[in-house]
Amino acid sequence: MFCPKCGSLLLPKKDKSKKVFACSCGYSTKEMEESRLKEQIVVEGKIEVLDPDRDLESLPITDADCPQCKNNKAYFWLVQTRASDEPETKFLKCVACKHTWRDYN
């Protein structure tokens, strides 16, 4: 309910032994309308999260030199590992030997 004088929200308040709705401008009323809060939760579907160890074929491949086997192809993905105003961290996984490393460039 809203105040007819100023339009603010009327809040429940005890006036002696009675419950009233009152506004900060001084308006109050004893009339209480029944109000109910209804909330409906809608489940739309599952969000699929890729696991880089399991779903390698779904990751893009880039040119990168593996520090372990010197292969020049690697899968990559980005993860926000620091504060939001910092750039994300690029993770790489060698196509040949599956060695994983980070690229901060």
Q: What amino acid positions are annotated as catalytic residues?
A: 85-86
Distances (CA, A) of 23 to 7, 39, 49, 93, 100: 9, 26, 49, 63, 62
Distance CA 100, CA 105 (A): 16
Determine how many CB atoms are found less than 10 A away from the CB of residue 10.
19
Q: Which two tokens stand for residue 84?
A: 């939001």
Contacts of residue 8, defined as CB under 8 A and 6 or more positions apart, other chains included, come to 2, 23, 24, 25
